[in-house]
Amino acid sequence: MEVSPQYAVQMHGITKRFGAFTALDEVDLDVRKQTVHAILGENGAGKTTLMNILYGLYQADEGGIFMNGQQVNIANPNDAIQLGIGMVHQHFMLIENFTVTENIILGDEVCGAAGVLDMRKAREEVMALVNEYGFDVDPDARIEDITVGMQQRVEILKALYRGAEVLILDEPTAVLTPQEIDKLIEIMHDLISKGKTIIIITHKLREIMQSADECSIIRRGVYMGTVDVKQSSETELASKMVGRNVNLTVEKTPAHPEDVMLSIRGLTVKDERGIEQVRNLDLDVHAGEIVGIAGIDGNGQQELVDAICSLVKATSGTICIAGQEIQNTNPRNVLNHSVAVIPSDRHRWGLVLPMMVEENTVLERHGEDLFGKGIMLDYDKLHDFTSKLIERYDIRPAGCEEERMSGLSGGNQQKAIIARQVSYVPDLLIAFQPTRGLDVGAIEAVHKTLIGERDRGAAILLISFELDEVMDVSDTIAVIYHGQIVGTFAQGTVDENQLGLLMAGGEAQ
Amino acid sequence: MESIILLLSITLMYSTPLVFGALGGVISERSGVTNIGIEGMMVIGAVAAATASYFTGNPWIGFLAAGAAGALVALLHAVASVSFAADQTISGVAINMLAPGIALFACRFFFDGAAMSPIATKLPGAVFGNMSINITTIIALLFAVIMWFVLYKTKWGLRIRAVGEHPAAADTLGINVYRVRYACVLVSGMLAGFGGASMTIAIISQFTQTAISGHGFIAMAAVIFGKWHPFGAYGACLLFGFTQALVVVLGGGNFIVPSQILSMLPYVMTIVVLILFVGRSVAPKADGVPYVKGSR
Amino acid sequence: MKQFEKFLRSRFAAALLAVLVGFIVSAIVLAIAGYNPIQAFAALFKGAFGRPKYVANTIIKATPILLTGVSVAFAFKTGLFNIGAEGQYIVGTVLATIVGVKLNLPMPVQIPVVLLSGIVGGAALGSFVGWLKAKFGIHEVITSIMCNWIAFYLCNYVVMSDTFHKPNSSSALAVNPSSYTMILGTWKKSAAGKEFLAGVPWLREVLLKTDLNAGFIIAIIVAILASIVLTRTKLGYELRAVGFNRDAARFSGISVERNIVLSMLISGGICGLAGALSITGTSPHTITLLAAMESYGFNGMSVAFIAACSPLGCIPSSILFSALIYGGMSVQQVMGAPSDIINIMIGTIVFVTALPGIAPLLADMVAKKRRAEENVRVSKDGTPLPEKEA
């Protein structure tokens, strides 16, 4: 496509390599002024890399960038900011113990003589912006005290404060409720009407249909073309993104719940600061069913899992596995009650990355006689055991038993964790964000495994920040808000809007 | 009464090297670089001060030489921990091994193979009745105030704290994380060098092998105890200086506890203070984590 | 080219490079100070290996730093930085001396008892540091340094105490000879022994002019054991898992606190053994006021780092450092150059090993050149893409 001033941003023939990997291979992008342009692709397809190049965080190995018809050179974020580009990262780039104002002015401070901060003037400038765009943000609040939605608006303000004309939003809806997403789309359209251009990175099809004018698709670092969203459909976008026809629904048979496996009554958990994160929570999970917990990050999900695992102390309440109380014991005791957990952050909680794959597959079970008598650990047995898991769960590369776990891709690391947890044949399987960062194929495999375990008779507790996942996979849906279960529904008896309202602390109609 | 004034005067004197070291720790860790090498930088400062002061006869040149020497050694730490993303603890430990070697080598080189320097000219002090205060004590207090002002009232401070909390965020706003960290580590080395100088040309008047004996590490404990705040660290150093003063005052008299056991006091005190306070004090989030562009 | 690149990525290359830089830097320092570096290094080599008794002394001096090296390496492999090896070594010497002076049992009982008391001393101090870390989360580096000084003053206290002080000296009483671990200690001084040795001059020199003792053999056994524990046992597995990722270990039901204390207990015990072996194996068979000057613990860290914290790798690296330290003394005797040059060299070596990237960086440069030469185009299909864990 030719270079023209009617485009706010054009990136032509962008190639980026990391060592031997080619993350982007001659990718093109043409963004018309005053439009919302979506970039669609799976996790790891290269969307974020492309935008990091536009923002000057990486340098392209080949290719050129043009703005308003002029070639530009972006060597670092400063250049990007000068050119009027602002970026809101998926994981917010906010300093938690700074105030909203401090975060907004950082790097472009309002100063008196000799670099002395003029906080009063800074606050006025921030307030002016807040009023102009009608954002509901307190300039004096600390980031750690405000909601995720507000933090996102602070990020947008940061860009606007620097005079951004082109705004890049990286997976902006991942952490929002449906209502907050609606509000964000409203903000986006308002910004467009005020002359801004927006690039939104996402893998969520519905939001593209709702918000974007055009959509460029990247698959495994290769540009697959740009479509006019109004002329397209979700299924068309999906097949372009994945490269084959995908089934967007999860197939499963009705559940046959049996006895209660996990029973929580009146559970209260405080964090280190003494604030109640889980408050008087009740929950039952039966054998043979999947209970999904919907909720926004930070509403007590982590503390709930930690309390079940006895990683933190419960202030009050009981947690029973098959009728036996296990609260406030220790993680080993909980595991001995046939509980297996797929943790939310696999690098932090799930794996010992510098150790070998075959060592990682027995993290909970290395003490068993199966893996060596007495004090010795029998590495031949670890090897055989791991080979079976690798084959059965298609962990790649084949024959990676003695590779370091850090050498595997994220999807395969997750497969290894799930293989390990399922290998215990648990009575209760807790899956916390089990598909985080995985691509469509891997997500399907995880969901199949969860349903398979349910059909074997295990009780499954699924906790996810992805509302679609909870709605598609669970037999029973519970909503968590401020550490309490605020609603429980059988699958199919509740719609997204009702759940969204509950997740945000409202009342369901 | 007299002994209380004496104790106070010795407390101020002995806390001064610690204050410099601790301020060095504060600035470095606030920018996200753990500096275990403070001890080594103090040793280098100690020998540089005594040597320069001895040869020039001007203790102020000694003081400045100490700052420069400390900063030079800190440059090594900055290269390792900022540019090479090395393990900051190992780098610091290496500096603590290297520094005494360099110090003694220099000492023997300049002073005909002796492991201690001759008596050098001391920095001036003021006497108020029974109380004498060395100028370094005042400079240390001044530096604490300046550091507080810079960290909390200027844009440079805002940036330093941002880099120590969330370097990737600072980077996306066009702040050069590496440059900020280099600057802070160099300043940290300079301050540690001053700390060494305030031992060898203010408290005693020569360099000896044991002039700096764990002071850098006690200063690091003061950083934690003082919650990474210049005034907090200052207060913590006064406490540790007080225990050292006790050793000096009690060790001289006919005290029942043997002097060797008494000498343990500052070190025992440090451990006790850490037990009581470490959990309640939160380090800068990115402290000790090398920043590699592109990773988060 | 490709093999060279592979070699550059190996640990051995990294160690070699560090030693090389160490020599270069000290050569420069020596040259600036007006000494001929070649002469100095020749004196160093002669001092370490020039005569049979020098070789023997190099091995004898390698014993404590091999053990403290294994101790540091063991702790490091489990995620802990035992900078307190120095203090644990000192406490080992102190307890071994106390027990060795007070007890006088038959040799086969006396030696194990004295060694064990050294181990207990080191292990106690080590596990105290581990406990402070496990229970209160205090960084082991600061507490171990404080413990080093406490141990130093404890040693001085014992040396000067009425019970143990040897009059008119700066040392304590020597342990009873039943604690001695010198090789052929009684035979070599007997008439038969002297007669035999008269015919074998090199052996005579080694046995009669040095304190050749069983320590180095024991130290090698400990190094092998430490390696087996780390890589082949369930205990080692847990220790390493805790060291690499505390959160994941806890999540998997492994007790983090217990393993931290255990690791420091073992690490400290090894240092304590090193101290005890010095007392039983070498003159003056007692502790002195100069405990802090010997730096066996700190040199152990250098030994461990250059060996990339492999306990077995500590065996050759302890010989290397022992040769540097022992041979380095003759640099001063022969040339008058300050022997502290050796500390500068050792410090430089450790500093370079702390830089993780240097040898691999060279390897990358070689690889880049090779790729350019072969003109390999990286395929766009089939290569798994790097995961962006955004």
Question: Is C27 found in the same domain as C57?
Answer: no
CATH number for the domain spanning C262: value is 1.10.3470
Digit-coded pLDDT (tens) for A196-213: 999 999 878 888 888 999
What 8-state DSSP symbol labels residue A298? T
Cα C201 to chain centroid distance, Å, stands at: 32
Question: Is A19 found in the same domain as A90?
Answer: yes
pLDDT at C358: 62
Is residue A68 in some structural domain? Answer: yes
Contact of B155 with B149, CB cutoff 8 Å: no
A93 in contact with chain B, both atoms CB, cutoff 8 A: yes
Question: Is A303 found in the same domain as A236?
Answer: no
- At a CB cut-off of 8 Å and minimum separation 6, what does A137 contact? A100, A130, A146, A150, A153, A154, A157
A56-65, B258-267, C378-387: segment of lowest average pLDDT = C378-387
pLDDT at C361: 64
Is residue C46 in some structural domain? Answer: no
Asked whether the beta carbons of residue C153 and residue B220 sit closer than 8 angstroms, the reply is: no
Q: Where are the alpha helices (DSSP H) in C245-382?
A: 246-251, 256-281, 296-306, 314-335, 341-354, 358-374
Q: What range defines the domain where residue A397 resides?
A: 356-424
Residues 234-273 of chain C with CB under 8 A from chain B are none
pLDDT at C223: 98
Asked whether the beta carbons of residue C248 and residue A348 sit closer than 8 angstroms, the reply is: yes
Domain count across chain C: 2
Digit-coded pLDDT (tens) for B224-243: 888 899 999 999 999 999 99
CA distance, residue A91 to nearest chain C CA (Å): 7
Mean pLDDT of A115-127: 94
Q: What range defines the domain where residue B181 resides?
A: 16-212
Which residue in this structure is represented by tokens 């496509």?
Answer: A1
Which residues of chain B neighbour A77 with C-beta distances below 8 Å?
171-174
C156 in contact with chain B, both atoms CB, cutoff 8 A: yes
Q: Using CA atoms, how far apart are residues A443 and A44, in angstroms rounded to an integer?
A: 14
Question: Is C72 found in the same domain as C30?
Answer: no
Is residue A444 in some structural domain? Answer: yes
Is residue C389 in some structural domain? Answer: no
Question: Is C134 found in the same domain as C232?
Answer: yes
Is residue C83 in some structural domain? Answer: yes
Question: Is C322 found in the same domain as C234?
Answer: yes
Question: Is A158 found in the same domain as A229?
Answer: yes
Q: Is A3 left (phi over 0), alpha (psi -120 to 50) or beta?
A: beta
Is residue A50 in some structural domain? Answer: yes
Of A404, A424, A444, the one marking the end of a domain is A424
A437 in contact with chain B, both atoms CB, cutoff 8 A: no
pLDDT at C378: 37
Question: Is C161 found in the same domain as C266?
Answer: yes
Cis peptide before C284 (omega within 30 of 0): yes
Question: Is C64 found in the same domain as C12?
Answer: no
Global pTM exceeds 0.80: yes
Residues 264-323 of chain A with CB under 8 A from chain C are 309, 311
CA distance, residue A132 to nearest chain C CA (Å): 32
Give one DSSP letter per residue of B2-68, joined into a string.
HHHHHHHHHHHHHHHHHHHHHHHHHHHHHTT---TTHHHHHHHHHHHHHHHHHHHS-HHHHHHHHHH
ipTM of the complex as predicted: 0.88
Is residue C90 in some structural domain? Answer: yes
| CA nearest neighbour of A96 among B223, C186, B166, B18 | B166
Question: Is A75 found in the same domain as A185?
Answer: yes
Q: What range defines the domain where residue C173 resides?
A: 52-336
pLDDT at C369: 63
Q: pLDDT over 70 for what percent of chain A?
A: 99
Is residue A24 in some structural domain? Answer: yes
Is residue C193 in some structural domain? Answer: yes
Q: Using CA atoms, how far apart are residues C36 and C340, in angstroms rounded to an integer?
A: 16
Residues 216-275 of chain B with CB under 8 A from chain A are none
pLDDT at A48: 87
Of A373, A406, A424, the one marking the end of a domain is A424
Of B86, B102, B221, the CB nearest to C354: B86
Domain count across chain B: 1
Which residue in this structure is represented by tokens 């485009």?
Answer: A7
Task: Identify the residue among C135, C143, C302, C353 best suited for mutation to test binding to B, counting B beta carbons within 10 A and taking the highest.
Answer: C143
pLDDT at C388: 34
Give one DSSP letter per residue of C299-332, joined into a string.
HHHHHHHHTTT-TTTHHHHHHHHHHHHHHHHHHH
Digit-coded pLDDT (tens) for C143-161: 998 999 999 999 999 999 9
Question: Is A176 found in the same domain as A208?
Answer: yes
Task: Identify the residue among B108, B287, B296 best suited for mutation to test binding to C, counting C beta carbons within 10 A and taking the highest.
Answer: B108
Is residue B68 in some structural domain? Answer: yes
Q: Using CA atoms, how far apart are residues C348 and B23, in angstroms rounded to an integer?
A: 27
Is residue A348 in some structural domain? Answer: no
Distances (CA, A) of A224 to A219, A220, A241, C379: 7, 10, 8, 18
Residue A183's CB is within 10 A of a number of other CB atoms, namely: 16
Question: Is C297 found in the same domain as C172?
Answer: yes
Is residue C184 in some structural domain? Answer: yes
pLDDT at A19: 77
Digit-coded pLDDT (tens) for A135-191: 889 999 999 888 888 899 999 999 999 999 999 999 888 778 888 888 899 999 999
Question: Is C89 found in the same domain as C23?
Answer: no
Which residues of chain B neighbour A107 with C-beta distances below 8 Å?
159, 170, 173-175
Is residue A344 in some structural domain? Answer: no
Question: Is A59 found in the same domain as A142?
Answer: yes
Which residue in this structure is represented by tokens 């020599």?
Answer: C23
How much is the mean pLDDT over chain A? Answer: 91
Q: Using CA atoms, how far apart are residues C271 and C290, in angstroms rounded to an integer?
A: 18
Domain count across chain A: 3
A32-36, B116-120, C183-187: segment of lowest average pLDDT = C183-187
| CA nearest neighbour of A221 among C380, C379, C382, B294 | C380
Is residue C385 in some structural domain? Answer: no
As given in the structure block, the two tokens for residue A42 are: 């799976």
Q: Lay out the sheet containing A459-464: strands in order across.
A: A339-342, A428-432, A459-464, A290-294, A476-481, A484-490
pLDDT at C360: 62
Is residue C155 in some structural domain? Answer: yes
Question: Is C111 found in the same domain as C97?
Answer: yes
Which residues of chain C neighbour B109 with C-beta distances below 8 Å?
33, 338
pLDDT bucket at A506, cuts 50 / 70 / 90:
confident
Asked whether the beta carbons of residue A57 and residue B159 sit closer than 8 angstroms, the reply is: no
Name the phi and psi angles at B157, rounded to 5.
Answer: -65, -45
Can you tell me whether residue A216 is helix, strand or coil? strand
Of A366, A401, A424, the one marking the end of a domain is A424
Question: Is A298 found in the same domain as A231?
Answer: no
Mean pLDDT of B35-49: 96
Is residue B264 in some structural domain? Answer: no
Question: Is A381 found in the same domain as A507?
Answer: no
Asked whether the beta carbons of residue A77 and residue B171 sit closer than 8 angstroms, the reply is: yes
Question: Is A316 found in the same domain as A188?
Answer: no
Is residue B277 in some structural domain? Answer: no
Which parts of chain C have pLDDT scores under 70? 1-2, 8, 291-293, 357-390
